[in-house]
Amino acid sequence: MISGSLIGDSIALFLTLLVAAFVYFRRNSTYWQRKNIQYLDLRCREHTGIFLKQVYDLMKKKNLKHGGIYMQLFPVYVVADLDYVKNIMTRDFQYFPHRGLYYNEESDPLSAHIFNLSGEKWRNLRTMLNPIVTPNRMEKKILPILMDCETVLKKIVELQDLSWMLSHVARLVSTVKSCKVEDSTFKKFGKKIFTKSKSRRIKGILVESFPKLGQFLDVPLTPKNVSIFFTTLVKNTVSYREETNTVNKYFIQVIIDQKRRLVEDDNYDATLSVEAIAAQCFIFYLAGFSTSPTLMTSALYELAKHQEIQEKVRNEIIKQCFLELSKAFDTVSHDIMILLSVCQMHQLSG
């Protein structure tokens, strides 16, 4: 039988935890009042992108340069003024080192990528990866792929699939040439990431609301077979390149070169382990997995509704067809404006 003292102790412990939780969340709910910063009494009941767009529009309507909101009971600082954004990203960056996103290098190494990392780890990776995405580098990477896939691009492409776009992204990240693969392993694992079961959704809500608790409990968000696939792929690629001294200008090569320089300088950083390299390749692939097809689908939808704009874009494309591919890359202007407008209309990131 359970003694009365044990029951009493359990009840006391439960009440103590309940009171502590109440005080903690109560203090959080008055954070912006204590900081004397105006906050918007909005609740996130939609997709985060749509919700933040609503917050931004309301702040502009109220002529607010910055303000506070609450997401999952936690305070979030929102900046609407471009000058404030510029200061935060440059002069005052030391005051905003933490991104507040969940990652776990031990149980879920692929989550420790540049999008999730904070502080010094994020700064070091940003410095290393920033030169990779300059317009000049992107042109040098994209043009050979377009020329290589000429036979594929001449075929009729079903827009609901867009496998060829995913193949390009995979090649940019890992140098795997898969243009002719209809249903590649990259595509299968990419879909697996974005198809979430109930248990993964619950884990996601838990670590998003309580990231420190998630790290303490070693909660992984990436499916194990996905993690094994990307880590093994990168490990084999790195080993092969280092053993055979194979060099090219793709994304993974730039990171390998940085890793080699640090080793030679006796400044080897753990953020450049094979797992860390795999994490950066992983997020670059995911960033292009859904955004590129979604962007193209949304753009075609808007063009179908606006025939006059569609005709202008068509004429510009026909005009560029008579130029060399390298020159056409720099001269397509109306198409870029269309894509930027679509991004803004549909809350797309790229």
Q: Grade residue 59 by pLDDT with cuts at 50, 70 and 90.
A: very high
Q: What is the dihedral of CA 290, 291, 295, 301, to 10 degrees?
A: 30
Q: Write the CA distances from 285 to 18, 191, 274, 292, 343, integer angstroms.
A: 43, 12, 16, 11, 19
Percent of the residues in the chain that have a pLDDT greater than 70, as a whole number = 71
8 A C-beta contact, residue 122 and residue 232: no
Mean pLDDT of 16-40: 85
Mean residue pLDDT across the chain:
75
pTM of the model: 0.71
Cα–Cα distance, 78 to 71 (Å, whole number): 11
Q: What is the pLDDT of residue 160?
A: 44
Q: What is the pLDDT of residue 215?
A: 85
Q: Which of 249, 275, 239 is nearest to 103 (CA)?
A: 275
8 A C-beta contact, residue 109 and residue 281: no
Residue with tokens 């549909």: 346
Between residues 264 and 96, the one the model is more confident about: 96
8 A C-beta contact, residue 128 and residue 258: yes
Cα–Cα distance, 55 to 192 (Å, whole number): 31
- The one-letter amino acid code at 36 reads N
Lookup: tokens for 187? 């595509």
Q: Grade residue 253 by pLDDT with cuts at 50, 70 and 90.
A: confident
8 A C-beta contact, residue 173 and residue 281: yes
Q: Using CB atoms within 10 A of its CB, is residue 273 exposed (0-12), middle (13-18) or buried (19+)?
A: middle
Lookup: tokens for 69? 């909101």
In the predicted model, is pLDDT for residue 211 greater than 70? yes
Q: What is the DSSP letter of 16?
A: H
Cα–Cα distance, 289 to 251 (Å, whole number): 16
Residue with tokens 């780890």: 121
Q: What is the pLDDT of residue 156?
A: 46
In the predicted model, is pLDDT for residue 103 greater than 70? yes
Secondary structure (3-state) at 66: strand
In the predicted model, is pLDDT for residue 151 greater than 70? no
Predicted confidence (pLDDT) per residue in 256-315, tens digit: 777 777 666 655 554 578 888 888 888 888 877 777 777 777 778 888 888 888 888 788
Among 83-97, 164-178, 188-202, 274-288, the minimum mean pLDDT is found in: 164-178
Q: What is the dihedral of CA 33, 35, 40, 42, to 10 degrees?
A: -80
Lookup: tokens for 186? 């990259």
Q: What is the pLDDT of residue 285?
A: 80
Mean pLDDT of 64-69: 91
